[in-house]
């Protein structure tokens, strides 16, 4: 494949800055068509981003002869359907995360990828970001010795739209659309990256609660997990604290020190050893998916390898299933 001509199914918020512009900034890659069920919004997106063709029907985009690769950027409840249709049409797929509603759907997607020979990639873009590659480098260099355990903590306040009279929770806290709640949306990134750093997680379990009753999904999750390497982990995710309690950090405890970093909140990495403390700052690029998209394009051109595939992406969904079911 010489040049990638992407069609985007679901041109919503995630495609405005995080991913959409990146497809046109990567060499040998462009966007030739977009699809959204709302014609006015589809036309507006295409006009603003300089894309000639727009559709309101996914099959029309998938079967467009100008489109030779498909990016599925809809909520998770339609990931499997659109990705499978695109692969059966002979087109490689890049799909948003979580990869699907559950591990069973992910496995169905991977099965079709194997049957058709069409590559399948998942938007776990932290595997390619310089910030997280720096964390991996520090681990691999044994800056804090052998890793003993991982402690993930996330406490966030409810969104304004979830409170007050006539609340309007979005799809991320609607389990039949997202697969769960905010835990599924955010922890999918975290577990995927932790496997990238430490290898496969062989077991995980958890407890879930809906304490505040703001929406149907769980708003509190606590979990424990074990890596095949022997590293152990614990985590807690609470989405109903007040703003003053907001905190998100992950600590890696080693035999010779500790590394503290953030998945979502800042660009700082703190290294603590017996010789003292060091703080590193590694900012994110303007379009956070661009480094991964570049690697995907390279793989499809036969020039490299993407670190995030359907097989790795499915593992994250299996871990979420273990913890919440």
Query: Same domain, yes or no, for 226 and 275?
Result: yes
SS (H, E, C) the chain: CCCEEEEEECCCHHHHCCCHHHHHHCCCEEEEEEECCCHHHHHHHHHHCCCCEEECCHHHHHCCCCCCEEEECCCHHHHHHHHHHHHHCCCCEEECCCCCCCHHHHHHHHHHHHHHCCCEEECCHHHHCHHHHHHHHHHHCCCCCCEEEEEEEEECCCCHHHCCCCCCCCHHHCHHHHCCCHHHHHHHHHHHHHHHHHCCEEEEEEEEECCCCCCCCCCEEEEEEEECCCCEEEEEEECCCCHHHCEEEEEEEECCEEEEECCCCCCEEEEEECCEEEEEECCCCCCCCHHHHHHHHHHHCCCCCCCCCHHHHHHHHHHHHHHHC
293 in the same domain as 269:
no
* Same domain for 279 and 134: yes
What is the number of structural domains in the chain? 2
Residue 39 lies in a domain: yes
In a domain, 320, yes or no: no
Q: What is the mean pLDDT of residues 143-164?
A: 94
Do 147 and 190 lie in one domain? The reply is: yes
Has residue 281 got a pLDDT over 90? yes
The mean per-residue pLDDT over the stretch 293-320 comes to 98
- CATH code (residue 63): 3.40.50.720
Please name the residues in contact with 275: beta carbons below 8 A apart, sequence gap of 6 or more.
Answer: none
For residue 134, tell me if it sits in a domain: yes
Domain containing residue 212: CATH number: 3.30.360.10
With a cut of 90, say whether residue 112 has pLDDT above it.
Answer: yes
Q: Is 296 inside a domain boundary?
A: yes
What are 210-250's pLDDT values in tens digits? 999 999 999 999 999 999 999 999 999 999 999 999 999 99
**pLDDT tens per residue, range 193-202:** 999 999 999 9
Residues 88, 138, single domain; the answer is no
Domain containing 75 equals 4-123+288-305
195 assigned to some structural domain: yes
Same domain, 160 and 278: yes
Do 152 and 18 belong to one domain?
no
Residue 77 lies in a domain: yes
71 shares a domain with 14: yes
Residues 293, 278 share a domain: no
Describe the crossing of helices 182-198 and 310-324 by its angle, rounded to 10 degrees: 120
| Cβ-Cβ contacts under 8 Å for 28 (sequence gap 6 or more) | 2, 3, 4, 297, 301
Q: What is the pLDDT of residue 74?
A: 97
pLDDT of residue 7: 98
134 in the same domain as 30? no
| pTM of this prediction exceeds 0.85 | yes
Is residue 321 one of the residues assigned to a domain?
A: no
147 and 214 in a single domain? The answer is yes
What pLDDT score does 165 carry?
Answer: 72
Segment 71-91 mean pLDDT: 98
**Cross-strand partners of 95:** 72, 122
Asked whether residue 322 is assigned to any structural domain, the reply reads no
- Mean pLDDT score of the chain: 97
Same domain, 61 and 8: yes
Could you report the per-residue pLDDT of 4-33, keeping only the tens digit for each?
999 999 999 999 999 999 999 999 999 999
């Amino acid at each position: 494949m010489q040049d990638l001509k992407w069609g985007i199914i679901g041109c919503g918020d995630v495609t405005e800055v995080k991913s959409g512009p990146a497809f046109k900034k990567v060499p040998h890659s462009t966007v030739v068509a977009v699809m959204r069920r709302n014609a006015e919004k589809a036309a507006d997106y295409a006009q603003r981003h300089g894309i000639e063709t727009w559709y309101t029907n996914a099959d029309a985009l998938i079967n467009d002869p100008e489109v030779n690769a498909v990016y599925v950027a809809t909520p998770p409840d339609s990931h499997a359907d659109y990705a499978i249709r695109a692969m059966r049409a002979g087109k490689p797929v890049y799909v948003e995360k979580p990869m699907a509603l559950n591990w069973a759907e992910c496995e169905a997607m991977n099965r079709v990828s194997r049957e058709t020979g069409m590559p399948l990639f998942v938007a776990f873009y932290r595997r390619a970001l310089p910030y997280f590659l720096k964390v991996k480098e520090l681990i691999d260099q044994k800056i804090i010795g052998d890793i003993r355990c991982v402690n993930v903590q996330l406490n966030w306040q409810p969104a304004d739209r979830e409170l007050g009279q006539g609340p309007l929770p979005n799809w991320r806290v609607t389990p039949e659309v997202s697969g769960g709640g905010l835990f599924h949306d955010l922890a999918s990134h975290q577990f995927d990256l932790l496997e990238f750093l430490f290898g496969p997680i062989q077991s995980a379990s958890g407890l879930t609660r809906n304490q505040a009753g703001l929406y149907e999904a769980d708003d509190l999750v606590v979990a424990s997990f074990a890596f095949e390497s022997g590293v152990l982990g614990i985590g807690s995710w609470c989405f109903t604290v007040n703003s003053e309690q907001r905190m998100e950090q992950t600590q890696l405890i080693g035999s010779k020190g500790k590394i503290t970093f953030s998945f979502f909140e800042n660009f700082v990495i703190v290294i603590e050893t017996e010789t003292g403390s060091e703080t590193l700052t590694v900012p994110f690029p303007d379009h956070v998916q661009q480094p991964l998209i570049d690697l995907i394009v390279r793989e499809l051109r036969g020039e490299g390898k993407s670190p995030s595939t359907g097989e790795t992406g499915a593992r994250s969904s299996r871990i979420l299933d273990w913890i919440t079911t």
